[in-house]
Structure 1
């Protein structure tokens, strides 16, 4: 099978599409024939060597890329009774040493897999697992109740947009930070207030929410500038540990760590199928254009995920 591999760290030029053995599903696992696999920023960090330098990736002669997958189960391992060959599924590969999803086949634990959202193209479905589970867990870590306020940086991005929708479902009022041209988008996704990212952040947010917001989810990795918009004893959720600010003014700072949760992913997929959650696709590319995808993602400005179609 064809699969995206990295044998040395560097720029997009180190990406290779190689021939690899087709993996076999073991006990408690399913093999998925990949229809679509999203490209995420963690793929860029893996390829560049940043994860290795941070001690988050064990040394290996070959590193396989890809976390998100949508496709069809074509082999079921012993002990699996939730899925059968032919099922349309989505899933998340959360162990970097395992085979990647940017390949023609990937093997996942059955607990990492969920039924695909009904009536949703594979490319769009493939953008849900990592972004959806990240947004959902981030919101849960805030502990917010209906009527409370949440600041979302990077609100027009994949995680930020899903956060706005999930927060609106729970009656949480949101301040969306994004580019000026993104105001109509984030308003449609449920934002209560909009702040252009070019403004002095804390000052602009406190003008809308006197005293500061109850919680922040920092999807854009703004750091302490977003923390300044937080009320005393509020909660700050960071998505990247090294850029988490200190817990000033008796605030609580937590780092969201995503994991493959097939049960919750099943619930999120149902929301997508019902039209209540809106994962977005910026473009689809063939597997051998993975380097182009990395260049485009690094350049920024995308409003949706780039998706590889093996």
Structure 2
């Protein structure tokens, strides 16, 4: 079946494909065709996320990829609609869109063309370039679903965001600040000034300070670092009744005994497509209350370099591959 797709007489496109040993290479594959309620768009840029290089390194951790098809990673996309399927009412050919289709099922965003459900993408704000738009979806939806939907951050809350200079973190601190919170953040010292510029009230150098001794009586903690020890330390930053959201793995959630003793709750979150949240984000960008930082860009054929930068600790913000 893989050979059939690679040799199809359908229109072709270039995609970046993961081989069994984890290498990435360009391959000609059949261009997708939109079905009912779907749109096909020509991709201009694809965001790069930690989940991408984790799957590249370890394989299909969600069990959602078809082993008989080329494995094309990537979820963050931005581009221009070139075809709409039956029943689509939200978009027309020529519209600029951005989104995170299908996660955690394959979206195959590392390619020249992408198909998405029309309610998995949103109109790209005029204020954003395609590169900036591609940097947003997975990161900002993770931040939104953590800060707004799960922690329910509100006026006067004290919130701690770990790894605040990363793709999710630098957006999460802005969302918390926009909702009236007092925001604390951990990050490398080189990114402290940039985080203060984004509105963070208190920045902690995780290499020289024990955050659980500096940030105390927090109403909520967003742990984007991972590891059971880190999550248990985060519990010590919470007030009784506070809540911890852990993103990297459900295995990081502290034991029930630890949570009960501290009088707090904790949950793991896996991001979901959400066009309504993307539209809310677009409004915030338009009003200037939220901005996305692009840390580095490379052409799609140099995608492996972006994976290496991200996996070893990159600059503030998101990494984006440009297409075409």
The answer to whether the superposition gives a TM-score over 0.5 is yes
1:59 shift after superposition: 5.6
2:225 maps to 220
Q: For 1:237-271, what per-residue CA distance to the aligned partner results, in whole angstroms no more than 9, with x for missing partners?
A: 01022222235223111112211111210110221
User: Would the aligned equivalents of 2:160 and 2:220 in 1 still touch at CA under 8 Å?
Assistant: yes
Shift of the 304–278 alpha-carbon distance from structure 1 to 2, 3 Å rule, reads same
User: Would the aligned equivalents of 1:72 and 1:87 in 2 still touch at CA under 8 Å?
Assistant: yes
1:95 shift after superposition: 3.6
| Pick aligned residue for 1:2 from 14, 23, 34 | 14
1:58 and 1:83 map into 2 onto residues whose CA distance is 28
User: Would the aligned equivalents of 2:158 and 2:181 in 1 still touch at CA under 8 Å?
Assistant: yes
User: Would the aligned equivalents of 2:18 and 2:72 in 1 still touch at CA under 8 Å?
Assistant: yes
In the alignment, structure 1 residue 60 sits paired with structure 2 residue 67:
yes
User: Would the aligned equivalents of 1:63 and 1:97 in 2 still touch at CA under 8 Å?
Assistant: no
In the alignment, structure 1 residue 26 sits paired with structure 2 residue 35:
yes
User: Would the aligned equivalents of 1:66 and 1:93 in 2 still touch at CA under 8 Å?
Assistant: no
| Pick aligned residue for 2:50 from 41, 44, 48 | 41
Matches within 5 A, 1:137-152: 137-140=145-148, 141-152=150-161
2:9 maps to none
2:253 and 2:126 map into 1 onto residues whose CA distance is 37
Q: For 1:34-60, what per-residue CA distance to the aligned partner results, in whole angstroms no more than 9, with x for missing partners?
A: 0000111111111112543xx544561
Shift of the 99–150 alpha-carbon distance from structure 1 to 2, 3 Å rule, reads closer
User: Would the aligned equivalents of 1:9 and 1:49 in 2 still touch at CA under 8 Å?
Assistant: no
2:214 maps to 204
Q: For 1:284-305, what per-residue CA distance to the aligned partner results, in whole angstroms no more than 9, with x for missing partners?
A: 2111101111111111132122
Q: How many residues align?
A: 300
Shift of the 146–180 alpha-carbon distance from structure 1 to 2, 3 Å rule, reads same
Shift of the 252–74 alpha-carbon distance from structure 1 to 2, 3 Å rule, reads same
In the alignment, structure 1 residue 193 sits paired with structure 2 residue 198:
no
Q: 2:244 aligns to what SS in structure 1?
A: strand
Which TM-score applies when normalising by structure 1?
A: 0.92
User: Would the aligned equivalents of 2:75 and 2:107 in 1 still touch at CA under 8 Å?
Assistant: no
Q: 2:310 aligns to what SS in structure 1?
A: helix
Deviates further, 153-162 or 26-35 = 153-162
Give 5+ residue unaligned stretches, structure 1: 207-211
In the alignment, structure 1 residue 304 sits paired with structure 2 residue 317:
yes
Give 5+ residue unaligned stretches, structure 2: 1-12
2:141 maps to 133
1:28 and 1:9 map into 2 onto residues whose CA distance is 36
Q: For 1:30-85, what per-residue CA distance to the aligned partner results, in whole angstroms no more than 9, with x for missing partners?
A: 00100000111111111112543xx5445613321111011000000000010000
Matches within 5 A, 1:1-310: 1-10=13-22, 14-49=23-58, 51-52=60-61, 56-58=63-65, 60-61=67-68, 62-140=70-148, 141-198=150-207, 199-206=209-216, 212-221=217-226, 222-240=230-248, 241-247=250-256, 248=259, 249-310=262-323
Which TM-score applies when normalising by structure 2?
A: 0.88
1:209 maps to none
Q: 1:158 aligns to what SS in structure 2?
A: coil
Deviates further, 294-303 or 219-228 = 219-228
User: Would the aligned equivalents of 2:174 and 2:198 in 1 still touch at CA under 8 Å?
Assistant: yes
1:3 and 1:175 map into 2 onto residues whose CA distance is 40
RMSD: 1.6
